[in-house]
């Protein structure tokens, strides 16, 4: 069964661990640092379900390696640049205005963003402050975030006709947007980011093969279509592929079993599986009367 069909037939959701105004897909407009620097070019996507975050961050200056055909055809320098990407899935909680992320399954082997986020939402704008004051991020809710809201955490997988073995990963969907992540099967040292590790070893292609066994990708669904196609990933050669979102069946309360086209299986724990979530861009405010009173100048100036 397709995931969206299963959501309609058997919706399930764990209690909200975050405010409802954080649900959906947000693209980062910019990040401003305490040293005065601003970055508005890195491509950053955040998708939030009841208790799972999906996150992807790809530098705008990533080299174009399409002519290489695969990672094996890339130079060591190109592999190191590709390995600067970030992405993964984490558990989320919220208390006293702060969101906290834990239990990351991520492409990078260390926690680059250890602080909680102090969040404030106004209309489609979600502003995140680091409590230390080292940065502030400006996020915007994306059109097409309503509809299917899904958060799945991978428990195990099995090859065709094989036994299940533990593997971490996640899938977070908000309407037309999805982030998919898989943990690598061979652990990397956690002392440094992947690109520095690749640059420091004698055989960068072997290390890159182990590193890119982890996956993190953002996929988008065209209006009226069923398939979600990867448009951005830490592995650029995954872009253009279709995410496997069929073959699902119930496997106990809050659990799903997915059979892939080649006969492999994945077992998922459900955080959220809701078919028709409405996520308005507007937020309520006690100042609505002022906004209405001044709309002929304020909204005209903003249009």
**Mean pLDDT across 10-23:** 97
* Percent of the chain residues past pLDDT 90, beyond the cut: 90
Rounded to the nearest 10°, the torsion over CA 94, 96, 98, 101 is: -40
pLDDT at 299: 73
pLDDT at 301 over 80: no
pLDDT at 303 over 70: no
pLDDT band of residue 288 (cuts 50, 70, 90) is: confident
Confidence of residue 302 (pLDDT cuts 50, 70, 90): low
What is the percentage of the chain residues whose pLDDT exceeds 70? Answer: 99
Considering the chain, what is the average pLDDT of its residues? 95
SS3 158: strand
pLDDT of residue 154: 98
Q: Retrieve residue 299's tokens.
A: 């909204």
Q: Is pLDDT of 130 > 80?
A: yes
**Among the listed residues 215, 217, 230, the one whose alpha carbon sits nearest the alpha carbon of residue 182:** 215
pLDDT given for residue 260 in this prediction: 96
> pLDDT at position 292, please?
84
What does the pLDDT look like over 51-102, one tens digit per residue? 999 999 999 999 999 999 999 999 999 999 999 999 999 999 999 999 999 9
Cβ-based neighbours of 105, under 8 Å, separated by 6 or more: 88, 89, 90, 154, 168, 169, 170, 181, 182, 183
Residues 155/268, Cβ–Cβ less than 8 Å: yes
CA dist., res. 281 & res. 46, Å (int): 16
What does the pLDDT look like over 219-272, one tens digit per residue? 999 877 889 999 999 999 999 999 989 999 999 999 999 999 999 999 999 999
pLDDT for the residue 62: 96
Residue 139 in this model has a pLDDT that exceeds 90: yes
> Quick one: tokens of 159?
């090859």
* DSSP assignment string, 208-261: HHHHTTSEEEEEEE-TT-S-EEEEEESSGGGTTPBP----EEE-STTEEEEE-T
């Amino acid at each position: 069964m397709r995931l969206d069909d299963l959501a309609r037939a058997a919706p399930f959701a764990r209690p909200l661990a975050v405010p409802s105004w954080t649900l959906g897909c947000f693209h980062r407009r910019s990040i401003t640092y305490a040293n005065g620097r601003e970055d508005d070019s890195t491509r950053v996507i955040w998708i939030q379900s009841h208790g799972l975050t999906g996150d992807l961050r790809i530098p705008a200056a990533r080299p174009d390696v399409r002519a290489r055909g695969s990672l094996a055809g890339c130079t060591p320098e190109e592999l190191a640049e590709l390995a600067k990407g970030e992405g993964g899935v984490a558990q989320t909680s919220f208390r006293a205005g702060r969101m906290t992320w834990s239990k990351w399954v991520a492409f990078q082997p260390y926690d680059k963003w250890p602080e909680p986020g102090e969040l404030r939402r106004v209309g489609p704008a979600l502003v995140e402050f680091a409590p230390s004051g080292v940065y502030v991020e400006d996020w915007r809710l994306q059109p097409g975030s309503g509809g299917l809201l899904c958060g799945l955490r991978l428990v195990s997988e099995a090859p065709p006709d094989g036994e299940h073995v533990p593997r971490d990963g996640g899938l977070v969907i908000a309407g037309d947007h999805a982030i998919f992540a898989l943990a690598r099967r061979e652990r990397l040292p956690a002392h440094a980011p992947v690109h520095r590790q690749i640059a420091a070893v004698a055989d960068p292609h072997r290390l890159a093969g182990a590193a890119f066994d982890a996956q993190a990708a953002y996929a988008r669904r065209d209006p009226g279509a069923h398939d979600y196609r990867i448009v951005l990933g830490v592995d650029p050669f995954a872009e253009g592929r279709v995410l496997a979102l069929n073959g699902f069946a119930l496997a106990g309360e809050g659990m799903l079993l997915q059979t892939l086209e080649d006969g492999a299986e994945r077992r998922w724990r459900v955080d959220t599986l809701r078919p028709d979530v409405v996520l308005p861009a507007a937020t309520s405010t006690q100042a609505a009367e002022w906004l209405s009173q001044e709309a002929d100048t304020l909204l005209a100036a903003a249009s």
